[in-house]
Structure 1
Amino acid sequence: MRILLSNDDGVHSPGLMALFEGLQGLGELAVVAPDRDHSGASNSLTLSRPLTVEKHPSGFWSVDGTPTDCVHLAVNGLFDKPFDRVVSGINTHANLGDDIIYSGTVAAATEGRHLGLPAIAVSLVNNGHFHYETAARVVRLLLEHKRYLALGPRSILNVNVPDLPWSELAGIQVTRLGHRDRAEGVVPVTCPRGKRRYWIGAAGGGGDAGPGTDFHAVQNGFVSVTPVHIDMTRHEAMTRLQDWVDDLEGFGEVSQ
C-alpha cells in the first residue's frame, strides 16, 4: 500500500512527523506538505502561478501552495507510481463540526477522494499536552483494520483525537458532525502606519454538541470518527424545491 501524507500546518509540523513515524511499516510512505502554515485554506487551488516543489533532507517534499495543491500535485504526476490512500494531519487543533468547511487538513484528505481507499483527516483536540503519538496510534489502528471499512465513493473519515495518553482514551465512537455557534466578532487592531486591520475572531462554541456528535465524543475522552461524503447536494430538499420552481408565476413564459 502506498500512502500519501500531507497536512495544513506545514512540512515542518511536529504532528506530521509524528504521523510519519507512527505509520512506519504499514506501506510505502511519501510526504508532500505546504512549505508553511496554511490553516483555514479549505479546498483552495493555486491557479494564478506555477508551484515550486522542494525535496528536503528528511525525504519530505514541500510545495509553496495550499494543502489541496500538495495532494493534487502528488496524485496527478509528481510521482511515477499511484497512491492508494491519503492521510492528512496530525492537525495541531480540532476539526469539529463546521470546522471542516474551512479546514486545510480536511481539504487535503478530500483531494484524495478519488483514490482506491478512503482518505483520512486526523486532528488533535489540543489541550496543551500535544499527545501526537496518541493520534498517530489511532490512525495506525484504523489502517491496520482497513479490511472492515467499506465506504461509498468520494468519502473520507474525519478523525478527532483527545489530547490524552493512549491509556486514558475512553474508546472510539462513530459520530456525526455537530455545529458551532456563530463565531466571535472580528478583532480590530491598528498597524504601525495607523491603518485599521482586523483579526478573524475565534470560532464559536458547540451549538449542536449533544450525544452522537463529534463534539460530545471528544469532550468525554472518545476518539471521534465521522464519515464525510463529498456530495453537498441536500437531497431531501429537492422535491420541495422542485415544487417551488414549478409554482413560480410566469417562469414558463420567461424561459421560452
Structure 2
Amino acid sequence: MTLEIEQFMCRSDNFGILARDTETGETALIDAPEEQPILEAVERTGWTPTMILTTHHHQDHVAANLALKKRFGLTIVGPAAEADRIPGIDRTVKEGDTVRVGRQAARVIETPGHTAGHVSYHFADAGIAFTADTLFALGCGRLFEGTPADMLRSLKKIAVLPLETVIYCGHEYTQANARFALTVDPTNSALKERAKGVDTLRQEGKPTLPTTLKQEMATNPFLRWHDPVIRRNLGMEDASDEAVFAEIRKRKDVA
C-alpha cells in the first residue's frame, strides 16, 4: 500500500502531479497549474482525480481549479489562510490537519514564506512530501509575502522529516539553483557531483525531480545555514541562522 506518482510538465516549468493510492485507486492532484496537460495525464494513466490538494494561491498553481472541478466534480482542499484566493475551494486545512487519499494520510504542514499561507503535504507512510514552492531541489521559493524568518521556520519543519523522504517540488528550477548553490558552497564535492548530474538530465530532456531530503540536506544551501564552510564563505561565522539564511536568499534574488 503506497502512493503511485505520475509527474508531468505544465506551463513552462511547473510540475503537475497525480498521486494515486494503490490499494483503493483514489487519486489526488497536487495543485492544478494547467488543464490540458492534466487531462492528458489522466487519459494516459486512467487515474481520475477526486480532489486537488492545493499548496498556495498563485495562479500557476490554481489556474485549472474551476475547469477540473466542473469536469470531474472533485473536491478542492487548500490552506485556510488563503481560502479567499483559491478558486473553488471546498475544504480548508491548517497546521496538523490530516487529509486522506484513499487509505494514505497526509499531515498538513504550514510552510509560509513564499506566500503567507503556503502549506505542504507529508504522506508519512508513503515517505513522500509535496513542498511546492517552499523547498525546491537545491533552492527555496522567493519571499513574495513572507519574511526570511517565516521561510526559515518553514524549512526547519521540513528539515526534521525522515531523511529518506522523497520530495516533490513545484518547478523545474534545479539547474539554475545548482549554479547559484556553487557560488556559496563551491568546495562541496557532493554539490559539484550533483550539479553535473543535473546538467546531464537537462541535456537529455529529463526532469531533475523528485529529490530526497537526504540529498537536499547535503547540497541545498537553503538547508545548510548551519554549515561552517558556507558561513565562512559568507563572512558570517558568528551570525544567527536567520541572518545567514537571509543573506543566501538575498544573493539568490539578484543572481
TM-score calculated relative to the size of structure 1: 0.31
TM-score calculated relative to the size of structure 2: 0.31
Structure with more relative contact order (C-alpha pairs < 8 Å, separation 6 or more) = 1
Structure richer in helix, relative to its length: 2
Greater Rg, structure 1 or structure 2? 1
